Structure 1
Amino acid sequence: MEAFEFNRLVFGLKASPYLACRAVKEVGSRFGSNYSDMARSAIDRSLYVDDLLKSCPTTDSAITTQREVQSLLQHGSFHLRKWRSNDRQVLEAIPEADRATDSLLHLSSNDNPTISNPVKTLGVAWNARDDVFTFVYKATSPQQLTKRSVLSKMATIYDPRGQLSPFTIRARLMFQELCTQQKDWDAAVSDEQSSKWQRWFAELPLLAEIKADRCFKDARRPPESAALSVHVFTDASSHAVATAVYVRCEYPDGFVKVTLAFAKAKTAPIKPTTIPKLELRGAALGVRASQVVARALDIPVEKHVYWTDSTNVLYWLRSNAKNFRSDIATRIVEIQKSTTADQWRHVPGKVNPADLGTRGERAADFIRNDTWWRGPQFLQSAPAEWPKTNLTVPAQLPGQLKKKPAITFAVEHEQIRLSPSTYSSWSRLVRITAWCLRFLGNLRARITRGRAVPTSAVVVPLQQTDGTSAKSAASNSTDQHATEELSPQELQKGDLVLCPSPDGTRGQWPLGRVVGTHPGADGHVRVVDVKIADKIKRRSVHQLVPLCADSG
Structure 2
Amino acid sequence: MFHQVRVWSIDGQAFRFLWYEPGSSQPPDVYQMDVHFFGAASSPSVCSNALQQAVKDYGDDHLLKQITKHFYVDNWLASFSTAAEALSTAHRLTETLKAGGFPLTQWAMSNNAVRQSLPGQRLEGAVVNMDLDAKPIERTLGLVWIFSRDAFILGASVLTDGRTKRDIMKAISSIFDPLGFLSPILFQAKFLIQDIWRPKFDWDFELDQNLIDRWIHWANSLPLLNGLVLDRCISPTGKDASTIELHVFGDASEMGFGAVCYARFVHPNGTADISILLSKSRLAPLKFMTIPRLELNAVVLAARLAVQAKEEHDIIFRKTIYWSDSSTVLSWIKSRSCRINVYVGNRIGEILESSSSTEWNYVPSFINPADDASRGLTAAEFDIRHRWFSGPKFLKVLTNWPCLPSLPPLEADDPEVREATWVGQVQLPDNEIDQLIARKSRVHIVIRIVAYMLRFIANART
Normalization by structure 2: what TM-score?
Answer: 0.84
Separation (CA, whole Å) in 1 of partners of 2:126 and 2:189:
36
Separation (CA, whole Å) in 2 of partners of 1:53 and 1:203:
32
Return closer, same or farther for 1:349/1:139 CA change in 2, 3 Å cut-off. Answer: same
Return closer, same or farther for 1:434/1:16 CA change in 2, 3 Å cut-off. Answer: same
Return closer, same or farther for 1:417/1:330 CA change in 2, 3 Å cut-off. Answer: closer
Aligned-pair CA distance for 1:102: 3.9
CA contact (8 A) 1:81 1:100 kept: no
1:51 aligns with 2:75: yes
Q: Deviations over 1:395-440 (max 9, x none)?
A: 417311222455876667974499x9xxxxx99x738985342576
CA contact (8 A) 2:108 2:115 kept: yes
Return closer, same or farther for 1:369/1:145 CA change in 2, 3 Å cut-off. Answer: farther
Match of 1:14 in 2: 41
Moved more, 12-21 or 267-276: 12-21
Q: How does 1:156-235 map to 2 (within 5 A)?
A: 156-222=174-240, 225-235=241-251
Separation (CA, whole Å) in 1 of partners of 2:443 and 2:281:
73
Separation (CA, whole Å) in 2 of partners of 1:230 and 1:417:
67
CA contact (8 A) 1:229 1:299 kept: no
Separation (CA, whole Å) in 1 of partners of 2:297 and 2:434:
63
Match 1:152 to one of 143, 150, 170: 170
Match of 1:550 in 2: none
Match of 2:300 in 1: 284
Match 1:73 to one of 83, 86, 97: 97
CA contact (8 A) 1:115 1:127 kept: no
Aligned-pair CA distance for 1:364: 1.6
Return closer, same or farther for 1:434/1:104 CA change in 2, 3 Å cut-off. Answer: closer
Aligned-pair CA distance for 1:25: 1.1
Match of 2:156 in 1: 137
Aligned-pair CA distance for 1:257: 1.5
CA contact (8 A) 2:248 2:323 kept: yes
Q: How does 1:362-441 map to 2 (within 5 A)?
A: 362-368=378-384, 370-382=386-398, 384-396=399-411, 398=414, 399-405=416-422, 415-416=432-433, 430=440, 434-438=444-448
Match of 1:24 in 2: 51
Q: Percent identity?
A: 26
Aligned-pair CA distance for 1:64: 1.0
Residue identity in the other structure for 1:430: K
Aligned-pair CA distance for 1:140: 2.4
Match of 2:275 in 1: 259
Give the number of aligned pairs.
428
Separation (CA, whole Å) in 1 of partners of 2:165 and 2:449:
78
Aligned-pair CA distance for 1:21: 1.6
Separation (CA, whole Å) in 1 of partners of 2:245 and 2:134:
32
Match of 1:123 in 2: 142
Separation (CA, whole Å) in 1 of partners of 2:362 and 2:221:
34
SS of residue in 2 equivalent to 1:194? helix
CA contact (8 A) 2:116 2:122 kept: no
CA contact (8 A) 1:209 1:367 kept: no
Which of structures 1 and 2 has the bigger CA Rg?
A: 1
Moved more, 39-48 or 119-128: 39-48
Match 1:349 to one of 347, 358, 365: 365
Q: Deviations over 1:128-166 (max 9, x none)?
A: 122111134334213x41111100001110000011110
Residue identity in the other structure for 1:360: G
CA contact (8 A) 1:321 1:332 kept: no
When the two chains are superposed, the root-mean-square deviation of aligned CA atoms in Å is 3.0
Return closer, same or farther for 1:436/1:263 CA change in 2, 3 Å cut-off. Answer: closer
Match of 2:24 in 1: none
Residue identity in the other structure for 2:56: S
SS of residue in 2 equivalent to 1:312? helix
Separation (CA, whole Å) in 1 of partners of 2:366 and 2:353:
29
For structure 2, the residue ranges without an aligned partner over 5 or more in a row are 1-8, 13-32
Separation (CA, whole Å) in 1 of partners of 2:11 and 2:182:
50
Return closer, same or farther for 1:11/1:392 CA change in 2, 3 Å cut-off. Answer: closer
Match 1:241 to one of 257, 260, 274: 257
